[in-house]
Chains A and B, each alone.
Chain A
Amino acid sequence: MKWITIKRHLRDSLRSLKRNGWMAFAAISGVAVTILLVGISLALVFNVTKLSHDVESDVRVHVLVEPKTTTKQKAKLETELNDLKGVTKVTYSSKANELKKVVSQYGDSFKMFGGDDNPLNDVYTIKATDPEETMAIAKKAAKLDHVAKANYGGDEAKKLFRTMDSVRNWGVGFSVLLLIVAIFLIANTIRITILSRRNEIEIMRLVGATRWYIRWPFILEGAWTGLLGAIVPLVIIDLGYANVFRAVGRQLASSGYSLMTPGQLIWPLNLTLVVVAMLIGAFGAAISMRRFLKV
């Protein structure tokens, strides 16, 4: 294709979008609603996937130290924990520190347990090389001196994995379904706008335009419709996600997990949705025109 032809197709498509005002607005609005739904469900799926991955790869053993254990005894215990097979990291957190976590998660009313009233234990958190080994580590740690209890989540972790898995699967299924609905909705909206312009296509054919010469501006117009339709929902999703991240992220942080940061989520999500919207717009236009281009 010659450069002058490409330039004309681009110019014609933008001009046509402008001159078809209300029809273009209707098509853009249709795209916007659909992209908003797809965007929200994709943001959900991306985050559930990340969280379940975090949980899977981050199963830890919490070793609660008996009260009144001396500093010397704790140091010995830490060495013994470090020597256990499959342990990568042992982190110490005093009972005062544990209380701080509780306060930040459940509120200031728990401050009353400060000082000598603190019922919590000092805790060693053990990270395993392999999530599978957490159970064995917990069993061995429980037998060591000055250990009150060794938790590894056990059944709870398994239950969490199952829940995460099903949320992820349903999320993916829902997104795929929404995407299919989006394809039909966007293609149909564009189809209606093209139906109203079938005379235009007929006239173009009459003056000797080839099928592709007629098709290109419509395809590009479809792509612009997709692009413009994606802008508003993306702004809503981007701003909305930043707020959700701030609100939910703070609560999750105390449990050691985190949502995808807006920086991690927004660019891939925006790019995916813009490309999807433009492709659907372009294909929708191409498919809708087919019957009017039969000479």
Chain B
Amino acid sequence: MLKLLNVEMRYPNGVSALKNVTLTVEQGEFVYLVGHSGAGKSTLIKLLYRELVPTSGFIQINNFDLRQMKEHQVPQLRRTLGVVFQDFKLLPKMTVGENIGYALQVIGKSDAEIKEAVEQVLNDVGLEKQADHFPNELSGGQQQRVAIARAIVNRPKILIADEPTGNLDPQTTEGIMDILQRINGRGTTVIMATHNQQIVDELPHRVLEISGGKIIRDEQGGQYTHEVDNNQKTPAR
């Protein structure tokens, strides 16, 4: 499904963002990527949807070899992934329905198929009445739900979310997490970078902690902070 082997990422300015990262994620897993700002989470996410190409190492996603692939194959890879961002990244001049439909339009689906899929996915995220609204007419939480709807509309095997709740209040965050859990429940792999301790602790899944460009913890059902850290912090409180 998703394999990284000895992946190194060094930026042109010499900064080494990832060092010797090796990782496997199976179909249907829910993985939290945690770590401080600048730890390398976003770099890892960008490598997964091939915004960046690793300096060395091997990355395989949905049978695509990301290091060897040609530029013209990148859209093919991205059509097998859903990507959600903290800042939603919606097309401002398109309505909600058009934003979601665009992901299907680029793979040549007919207007009828697009209409049906968009209605269904808007129903899934609870925005069936907002199809004709423009993004700036929606709240942050609603915009993020549109972004998720767009990411899942063509039923990707993997959903990558880079701090999807970063700009949202706790109540809205809960709603977004409900949707992500449901998507995962249908068999979609979810990889989510987050700083939100409450989410990670209350909805336990596999936790990958990155620090200084290295994976320092890979724990099934882990907490946001490592138990040893918690124990160390407890007396201080």
Contact = CB atoms under 8 A, between A and B. Distances in A.
Interface of A: 2, 4-5, 8, 15-16, 19-20, 199-200, 202-211, 213, 295
B108 A4 contact: yes
B105 interface: yes
Contacts of B50: 295
Given A203-B91, A206-B83, A208-B79, A213 B74 contact: no
Nearest to A5: B108
A210 B72 contact: yes
Interface centre among A19, A203, A204 (most CB of B within 10 A): A203
Question: Which size class do B's interface residues fall under?
Answer: 20 to 34
Contact of B102 (A5, A204, A210): A204
A206 B90 contact: no
Contact of B90 (A2, A16, A203, A295): A203
A71 B234 CA distance: 133
B37 to A, nearest CB: 22
B78 interface: yes
A210 B74 CA distance: 8
Contacts of A20: 93
A208 B108 CA distance: 12
A200 B98 CA distance: 13
Among A5, A200, A203, A208, the one with the most B-chain Cβ atoms within 10 Å of its Cβ is A208
Contact of B75 (A15, A19, A200, A209): A209
Contacts of B93: 15-16, 19-20, 200
B157 interface: no
Interface of B: 49-50, 71-72, 74-79, 83, 89-93, 102-103, 105-108, 110-111, 150
B15 to A, nearest CB: 21
A199 B108 contact: no
B89 A209 contact: no
Contact of A200 (B77, B92, B103, B150): B92
Contacts of A200: 91-93
B89 A213 contact: no
A213 B72 CA distance: 12
A4 B110 contact: yes
Contact of B71 (A203, A207, A295): A295
Given A4-B110, A213-B106, A208 B75 contact: yes
21 contacts: A5-B108, A15-B93, A16-B93, A199-B89, A200-B91, A200-B93, A203-B89, A203-B90, A204-B91, A204-B102, A204-B106, A205-B75, A206-B78, A207-B103, A208-B77, A208-B103, A208-B107, A209-B75, A210-B75, A211-B72, A295-B71
Contact of A207 (B92, B102, B111): B102
B137 to A, nearest CB: 14
